[in-house]
Structure 1
Amino acid sequence: MPIQTAALSGMTPDLSRRSLLRAGALFAGGAALSGLPFGRAAFAHDVSEDWANVAALADKYVSQKKLANLLLSFGWDQQPHAHTVGGGTLALGKPALVDENSLYRIYSMSKPITGMATMILIDEGKLGLDQPVHEILPAFRDMKVLVDPEGSLDDTVPANQPITIRMLLTHTAGLGYQIISKGPLQKAFNAQGLIGGRVSRLPIPGIEPVTPAPGLAVWADRLAELPLMYQPATRWSYSCSIDLLGRVIEVVSGMEFEAFLKARIFDPCGMTSTFMQVPASEAHRLTDNYGIVGGTPFPIDPGPASVFLDPPEVAAGGGGLVSSPKDYDRFLRMLLGYGRIDGKFVMSENAVRVGTSNLIPATVDLKGSWLEGEGHGAGGRSKGSSFGWGGAAGTLGAVDFDLKLRSCLWTQYMPSEAYPIRDEFMAAMQKDLAAMRAAKKAAA
Structure 2
Amino acid sequence: MKRTATMMMGTMAGAATLIATGAWAGQARRAPAPRTQTQARAAPLPVTQALFDGYVRDRKMPGIVAAFGRAGRPTIFVSAGRIADDSTVAAGPDTLWRIYSMTKPVTAMAAMILVEEGKLGLDQPVSDILPAFRNMRVLTDPANGLASRPAARPITIRHLMTHTAGLGYNIVTKGPLLREYERLGILPGAANALIEEQARRVRPTSLQAFAGRVATLPLIADPGTRWSYSIGLDVLGAVIERVSGMPYDRFLQARLFTPLRMDSTYFTVPAAEAGRLATNYAFIGANPLQPDATGTTRVVADPARTSVYLRPPSFPYGGAGLVSSARDYDRFLHMLQNGGALDGARVMRAETARLAMSNLLPAGVTFQGVGGGAGGTQGADTPMGYGAGGSVYLADKPGGPGKGTYGWGGAAGTIAYVDPVRRVRGTVMVNYFSSERWPLRQEIPAALARDLESVRP
TM bucket by the smaller chain? Answer: 0.7 to 0.9
Letter in structure 1 aligned against 2:264: S
Equivalent residue for 1:409, pick from 419, 428, 453: 428
Instruction: Measure how far apart 1:214 and its partner are.
Output: 1.0
CA distance in 2, matches of 1:102, 1:242: 26
Aligned residue in 2 for 1:101: 94
Distance 1:238 1:22 in 2: 13
1:158 aligns with 2:150: yes
* Partners of 2:4 and 2:242 in 1: CA distance: 28
Kindly indicate whether residue 45 of structure 2 is the aligned counterpart of residue 50 of structure 1: yes
Residue 288 of structure 1 aligns with which residue? 279
Who is 2:242 aligned against?
251
After superposition, give the CA deviation of every residue in 1:227-268 in whole Å (9 maximum; x if it has no partner). Answer: 001111111101000010000000000000000000000001
Instruction: Tell me the distance in 1 between the aligned counterparts of 2:410 and 2:261.
Output: 22
Quote the residue 1:327 is aligned against: 328
Describe the superposition over 1:342-369 as per-residue Cα deviations: whole angstroms up to 9, x where unpaired: 1111111121011111000013254687
* 2:192 alignment partner in structure 1: 200
Q: 1:341 to 1:368 in 2, by over 3 A?
A: closer
Provide the C-alpha distance between the structure 2 equivalents of 1:152 and 1:368, rounded to a whole number of angstroms: 28
SS of structure 2 residue aligned to 1:202: helix
Taking structure 1 as reference, are residues 7 and 179 closer, same or farther at Cα in structure 2, changes over 3 Å only?
farther
Query: For residues 23-422 of structure 1, what are the structure 2 equivalents within 5 Å?
Result: 46=41, 50-52=45-47, 54-79=48-73, 81-153=74-146, 155-202=147-194, 209=199, 211=201, 212-294=203-285, 295-366=296-367, 373-383=383-393, 384-422=403-441
1: distance between equivalents of 2:431 and 2:438? 12
Q: Contact 2:162–2:388 at 8 Å: present in 1 too?
A: yes
SS in 2 for 1:416: coil
Question: Contact 1:277/1:310 (CA < 8 Å) preserved in 2?
Answer: yes
The residue that corresponds to 1:21 in the other structure is 18
Question: What is the CA-CA distance between 1:10 and the residue it aligns to?
Answer: 6.0
Asked if 1 retains the 8 angstrom alpha-carbon contact of 2:368 and 2:384, the reply is no
- Measured against aligned partners, the alpha-carbon deviations of 1:81-134 in whole angstroms (never above 9, x if no partner) come to 521223211101311001111100000000111010000000000001100000
1:374 maps to a residue whose letter is: M
State the AA in 1 paired with 2:243: V
Compute the RMSD of aligned alpha carbons.
Answer: 2.7
**How many angstroms does 1:189 deviate by?**
1.1
Q: Distance in 1 between matches of 2:389 and 2:6?
A: 26
SS in 1 for 2:158: helix
- What amino acid maps onto 1:84 in structure 2? F
Q: Distance in 2 between matches of 1:130 and 1:347?
A: 19
CA contact (8 A) 2:14 2:433 kept: no
After alignment, is 68-77 or 283-292 more displaced? 68-77
User: Offset of 1:275 from its aligned partner?
Assistant: 0.7
1:35 maps to what in 2? Answer: none
* 8 Å CA contact 1:78, 1:336 repeated in 2: no
1:149, 1:199 → 2: CA distance? 28
* Residues 405/285 of structure 1: CA separation in 2 closer, same or farther (3 Å cut): same
Query: Cα gap change, 1:209/1:261 in structure 2, threshold over 3 Å: closer, same or farther?
Result: closer
- Closer, same or farther: CA 307–335 of 1 in aligned 2, 3 Å: same
Residues 107 and 320, structure 1, Cα contact 8 Å, conserved in 2: yes
CA 1:113–1:159 in structure 2 vs 1: closer, same or farther (change >3 Å)? same
Corresponding residue SS for 2:315: coil
Amino acid of the structure 2 residue aligned with 1:264: R
Q: Deviations over 1:174-200 (max 9, x none)?
A: 100111100111111111111142111
TM-score normalized by the length of structure 1: 0.85
The residue that corresponds to 1:36 in the other structure is none
Partner AA of 2:330 in structure 1:
D
Distance 1:78 1:103, change over 3 A: farther
Q: Show structure 2 runs of 5+ residues with no match.
A: 21-38, 286-295, 371-377, 394-402
Provide the rounded CA distance (Å) in 2 between the counterparts of 1:358 and 1:273: 30
* Greater RCO (CA < 8 Å, at least 6 residues apart): 1
Structure 1 letter corresponding to 2:118: G
Displacement of 1:421 in angstroms is 3.0
Per-residue deviation, 1:415: 1.2
Deviates more, 1:172-181 or 1:290-299: 290-299
Distance 1:345 1:416 in 2: 33
The answer on whether the counterparts of 1:288 and 1:412 sit within 8 Å (CA) in structure 2 is yes
- Structure 1 gaps, min length 5: 24-43
- In structure 2, the residue matched to 1:30 is none
Aligned twin of 1:27:
none
**Could you list the per-position Cα deviations for residues 384-437 of structure 1 after superposition, in whole angstroms to 9, with x for gaps in the alignment?**
22111001111111112233222111110001233333333355456656xx47
**TM-score normalized by the length of structure 2:** 0.83
Provide the identity percentage.
44
SS, match of residue 417 in structure 1: coil
Query: 1:47 Cα shift?
Result: 5.5
Query: Cα distance 1:336–1:366, how it changes in 2: closer, same or farther (>3 A)?
Result: closer
Q: Secondary structure at the match of 2:392?
A: strand
The answer to whether the 8 Å contact 2:367/2:385 transfers is: no
